[in-house]
Amino acid sequence: MTKGMIVVESPTKVKTLQKFLGDDYIIKASVGHVKDLPEGELGVDIEKDFQPQYVTIPGKKKVLGELKKASQKIKNIYLGPDPDREGEAIAWHIAEEIDGKEKNIYRVLFNEITKNAVLDALKHPVKLQQSKFEAQQARRILDRLVGYQVSPILWEKVRRGLSAGRVQSVAVRIICEREREIERFVPEEYWSLTATLKGKESPVSFDAKLVKWKGKKVSLANASEAEAMKKRLESASYSVSKIVEQEKKRHPLPPFITSRLQQEASRKLSFSAYKTMRVAQKLYEGVDLGEMGTVGLITYMRTDSPRVSSEAVHQVRGWIKNRFGETFLPPKPNIYKGRKSAQDAHEAIRPTSFDLDPDRMKPKLDKDQWALYKLIWDRFVASQMASAVFLQTTVEIKASEGIFTATGSVPVFHGFMALYVESEDNHLSAAKQDEDEEKKLPRLSEGEVLDLLGLIHRQHFTQPPFRFSEATLIKELEEKGIGRPSTYAAILFTIKGKGYVGMEKGKFFPTELGYLVNDLLVVNFPDILNIEFTALMEENLDKIEEGEKGWVETLKEFYTPFEKDLEMAKASMRDVKREQIPTEVLCEQCGSKMVKRWGKRGYFLACSTYPECRYTREVEENGEPQKVETDVKCEKCGSPMVIKNGKFGRFLACSNYPACKSTQSLNTGVHCSQEGCDGMLVERRTRKGRTFYSCGNYPKCTFALWDKPIPEKCPQCDAPFLIEKQGKEGIVKRCHRKECGYRASE
């Protein structure tokens, strides 16, 4: 006789549980949500305290039928969807559908899919948590109110198919505002002065940087100031005025929470947030390990708490001792505190068993699964290892009225860094790299006179703010309290899918559509596009879950001002779809003035006499037709070619259009380096909008590069061209031959 029926979300989890429990339980999968608000209509009765009108999700009628049938003769029903708000809603809806009057309905929470965890959860079932369900319901209704009431206005005023979202629209706003910061940025010039020095007895030279002049922080604004300072110091005597040696510690980071996992997987593995969660879900639910069966390898991957069970800490400390030795083990376990807003329902993300180390699992997992599993494993193990210790030496050197400093740092004890070091974001890594560089200074003594081998002054420019990567955008959303760890992947996936943002070299930029929709929403819906307001709503959802606030009360507080904005927007939002902006540009076919209009691919110029004249042409942001003339001559008529923008990027078009419709790919002026190929490298764009450079003889020649080639010989190996990209220290030129290693920044 069965002990009961267990309902989980995924069929994969069914297989894993069946292996642990055998025939003791009937195990079924809901395959995600079974009920939701209806498609195509609001599904919320605003007048009756926002009562939701749930319906069975299309395609789930059969699933619900099977669950009802399987539960008919069973007394104990254990609902085990994922242990978060969404899982609670699934459990609640299944409980409503199963006739529970004569049944015992329990909630079981699986933080990890291992035999011990599953058996323990079944021994200690809990009641369905109404406040957690109401928090999910409030979030779902909030998102429906915004999405289904703002999106139709965008369809009417801009284009069908657009969408607005309570959180996604704020994410787009953050990207738009960062891009405008970059556009407004004016670089400031500054110079540095570096001395190459050597002690009298030491054969090793070292560099020191000028930091003070006459007791004040040095500031060299231009070349003439730098040159004058260099001349002053060329004849000065250099001596060591101060040496400071101190031991510095670098402590390990806590184990992963969801957002940190998404950020680090983006930096180290180039995974999107969506891919990270998809792969992590598989590792959590269970992977087929052959003779071992299906095994869940990590704990639940949606969490914002760094808490770890005492049993797991005990196990990992034993593993560290055996693998690395006593010296790598701190006297007491490392304990980490979560953020104030963190929900402490689940542990941090960690491996479920220390018998299944990454080396053993490598043949059993696919490439992505293994990479993410190893990342989670290494981070968790490192979190319980001893701190790294460095000996840092700072030398102060006096020269005339100037002070130079040189810093060296050498590891005394690698500690956790023997296993794992967190990656840094682009705009931080340059400074961090300098700080952590294992650079040893020669042995010096205070008062020692030094030989000056050379003085170099270098020009620098302040850098604009960096565009957001997936990692840095998630970090920004988290710090501002926008969304929750479980929602970040979906937010990023949506804003890319809707065409509001694009990605170039792994960084977000707003599209013309993104700018337009953002500006309309900021003007017409100041509350829902307000970062602080959105963060406050997230706090209110947390309070609903904690039983401190009512869900109806929260929705009323939101809807009262929102309803007013909604009515105003319907009446006064710019009607971009029908808008015709006058210009001074003349139609090339009939001579009438052209107007700027909005279409599927953004703004374009159209003849004002439409439909009599249907002539259109491209337009730049300032409203003028795009005519960037080049030295290239048209192969058909000899007219100059101009650079234009098309669906797949920039290209060359004849300036004699429409009389001549000749086009060419945009030539970089760099010859293809493939042996035996006489082609030139041309600029192209992928279907997703990413720029790359490939041979013009494609498909005969498949040579391609992601970075821009420039027609400059490599000064180190004489390669025919260099490539350039925006690096952490500005524009970086480097040799395209990896074995050469030439690199220079501007």
Q: Is the dihedral of CA 628, 629, 631, 632 positive or negative?
A: positive
Output the CATH code of domain 258-383: 1.10.290.10
Strand-pair partners of 238? 399, 450
Q: Report which of residues 679 and 467 the model is more confident about.
A: 467
Which tokens sit at 65? Answer: 């039928």
Asked if residues 547 and 569 have their Cβ atoms less than 8 Å apart, the reply is no
Q: Which of these is catalytic: 25, 54, 238, 300?
A: 300
CATH 2.70.20.10 in the chain is located at 189-251+388-461
Bridge-based pairing of strands 238-250 and 388-399 is antiparallel
Strand-pair partners of 189? 461
DSSP state of 57: P
Which tokens sit at 280? Answer: 């992590």
Residue 665 CB coordination number (10 Å): 18
d(CA 707, CA 303): 37
pLDDT above 80: residue 328? yes
Task: Supply the pLDDT for residue 649.
Answer: 58
Mean pLDDT across 289-313: 88
CA end-to-end span of the chain: 76
Angle between helices 367-383 and 258-269 (to 10 degrees): 120
Asked if residues 321 and 329 have their Cβ atoms less than 8 Å apart, the reply is yes
Asked if residues 264 and 311 have their Cβ atoms less than 8 Å apart, the reply is no
How far is C-alpha 612 from the geometric centre of its chain's CA atoms? 49
pLDDT above 60: residue 542? yes
Give the pLDDT band (50/70/90) at residue 618.
confident
Q: What's the mean pLDDT when you consider all of the chain?
A: 88
Report the topology of domain 4-128.
Rossmann fold (3.40.50)
DSSP state of 733: E
Distances from the Cα of 267 to the Cα of 247, 505, 637, 648, 734, angstroms:
30, 13, 50, 28, 22
Q: Which amino acid is at 742?
A: Y
User: Given its phi and psi angles, is residue 447 left (phi above 0), alpha (psi -120 to 50 degrees) or beta?
Assistant: left
pLDDT above 60: residue 213? yes
Mean pLDDT across 60-74: 90
How far is C-alpha 84 from the geometric centre of its chain's CA atoms? 23
d(CA 681, CA 114): 54
Using the structure block, give the residue that is written with the tokens 């003779």.
291
Give the pLDDT confidence of 302-320 residue by residue, as tens digits.
888 898 988 899 999 999 9
Give the pLDDT band (50/70/90) at residue 435.
very low
DSSP state of 321: H
d(CA 92, CA 96): 6
pLDDT above 90: residue 653? no
Bridge-based pairing of strands 628-633 and 449-461 is unpaired
Is 420 an annotated catalytic residue? no
**Above pLDDT 70, what percent of the chain?**
93
Asked if residues 125 and 106 have their Cβ atoms less than 8 Å apart, the reply is yes
Q: Report which of residues 3 and 344 the model is more confident about.
A: 3
From start to end of 462-607, where are the E strands?
Answer: 501-504, 507-510, 581-586, 593-599, 602-607
CATH 3.40.50.140 in the chain is located at 4-128
d(CA 304, CA 257): 5
Segment 495-502 long-range contacts (CB within 8 Å, at least 24 positions apart): 495/168, 495/171, 495/172, 495/175, 498/162, 498/163, 500/172, 501/172, 501/175, 502/688, 502/689
Phi, psi torsion values for 663, nearest 5 degrees: -135, 160
Q: Is the dihedral of CA 731, 733, 736, 741 positive or negative?
A: negative
Q: Is the peptide bond before 358 cis (omega within 30 degrees of 0)?
A: no
Q: Is 76 exposed, middle or buried (0-12, 13-18, 19+ CB in 10 A)?
A: middle
Q: Report which of residues 434 and 619 the model is more confident about.
A: 619
Q: Which amino acid is at 609?
A: T
Residue 388 CB coordination number (10 Å): 20
Report the topology of domain 189-251+388-461.
Topoisomerase I; domain 3 (2.70.20)
Highest mean pLDDT among 82-86, 257-261, 631-635 belongs to: 257-261
pLDDT above 50: residue 12? yes
Task: Supply the pLDDT for residue 392.
Answer: 93
Mean pLDDT across 590-606: 88
Mean pLDDT across 435-456: 84
Q: Which amino acid is at 727?
A: G
d(CA 18, CA 195): 70
Report the topology of domain 138-184+469-572.
Topoisomerase I; domain 2 (1.10.460)
pLDDT above 50: residue 729? no
Task: Supply the pLDDT for residue 430.
Answer: 43
Bridge-based pairing of strands 593-599 and 602-607 is antiparallel
Is 576 in a helix, a strand, or coil? Answer: coil
d(CA 36, CA 48): 18
How far is C-alpha 514 from the geometric centre of its chain's CA atoms? 18
pLDDT above 90: residue 419? yes
d(CA 89, CA 87): 5
Mean pLDDT across 17-25: 88
Q: Is 377 exposed, middle or buried (0-12, 13-18, 19+ CB in 10 A)?
A: buried
pLDDT above 90: residue 23? no
- Element of type H or E holding 76: strand 76-79
CATH 1.10.460.10 in the chain is located at 138-184+469-572
Query: Which pTM does this prediction carry?
Result: 0.77
Using the structure block, give the residue that is written with the tokens 């792969």.
279
Give the pLDDT band (50/70/90) at residue 434.
very low
* Radius of gyration of the chain measured on its C-alpha atoms: 32
Task: Supply the pLDDT for residue 687.
Answer: 65
d(CA 408, CA 666): 48
CATH 1.10.290.10 in the chain is located at 258-383
Give the pLDDT confidence of 329-355 residue by residue, as tens digits.
999 999 998 776 555 567 899 999 999
Q: Which amino acid is at 457?
A: H
Helices of type H across 250-309? 258-269, 273-285
The closest alpha carbon to 551, from 169, 9, 145, belongs to: 145
Lowest mean pLDDT among 428-437, 467-476, 599-608: 428-437
Q: Is 48 exposed, middle or buried (0-12, 13-18, 19+ CB in 10 A)?
A: exposed
Using the structure block, give the residue that is written with the tokens 């500690």.
415
Task: Supply the pLDDT for residue 414.
Answer: 94
